[in-house]
Amino acid sequence: MTRWTTVDIPNQTSRTAIITGANTGLGYETAAALAAAGTRVVLAVRNLDKGKAAADLIARRTPGAEISLQELDLTSLDSIRAAAESLRATHDAIDLLINNAGVMMTPKSATKDGFELQFGTNHLGHFALTGLLLDRLLATPLSRVVTVSSIGHRMGRIDFDDLNYRRRYTRGGAYGRSKLSNLLFTYELQRRLQGTETIAVAAHPGGSASELSRHLPGPLRAAFSLLEQPTEMGALPTLRAATDPGVSGGEYYGPGGFAEMRGFPVAVDSNRRSHDAAVARRLWTVSEELTGVTYPL
């Protein structure tokens, strides 16, 4: 199948999905498509006003859609714990956790807990949230954790002596590290999920028109815009990873066109560093130490 679209999403009635960063861009399109397929969708967002506006828009697109909001700030472990506690109180079963929210190429800054912003938000925040919700996923047959990475993972390096870029900071290096961490996390999570009905899958949107690119330097942003595809297309790899019955744990989906920047979603390869199991295990241990979250596996 080379032209997978939202038409190929199976009926999702009775399934529950939690999507981080779902009020805009890729997250919004993912939420809207899942709601149209019958999913009960939780928009996990930092700004509740923007979340409410997104929920209202989805409801207009799909009358009768089941949409709810959950406040979540991935730059704060306190917020992540509070959100997880609220979600656990309202959902005995979670079919899909889509780790979509992220920041890209930001100036040097830190999360509320002192982590480098891109690594802390894109990786550690989602690592903590997934761990705190994992028992609900494990209790749900055929559940999935889908984490959104990027072709930018190819410029990432893991330096355990300076994970938070206390020394020489580069926007691209920090972004690449966070997206490489997303893949190392996905592949290690899948190894630890063996023997369960839950799978871990990764996806990337290619070059997609979204607010993520707002921090790119002017010339790079201009070049990037030439290869951008609509956000609706950029969301398709995530949607396929989340719903296609043929998807297997540990797979990675992205656009099948030029340089994986455009096109319909297919299974793609990530680089050699993303498959380094020893680094993945060490990153897992360090992530548990930094977040204080251990997994029930």
CA-based R_g, the chain, Å: 17
- Domain edges within the chain: 11-291
CATH of domain 11-291: 3.40.50.720
Give Cα separations from 191 to 24, 25, 199 (angstroms): 32, 31, 9
Q: What single DSSP character describes residue 186?
A: H
- Separation CA 155–CA 171 (nearest Å): 11
pLDDT in tens, 245-284: 999 999 999 999 999 999 999 999 999 999 999 999 999 9
Residues identified as active-site = 175
Q: Do residues 261 and 229 touch, judged by C-beta distance below 8 A?
A: yes
pLDDT in tens, 105-156: 999 999 999 999 999 999 999 999 999 999 999 999 999 999 999 999 999 9
Q: Which two tokens stand for residue 78?
A: 């306190």
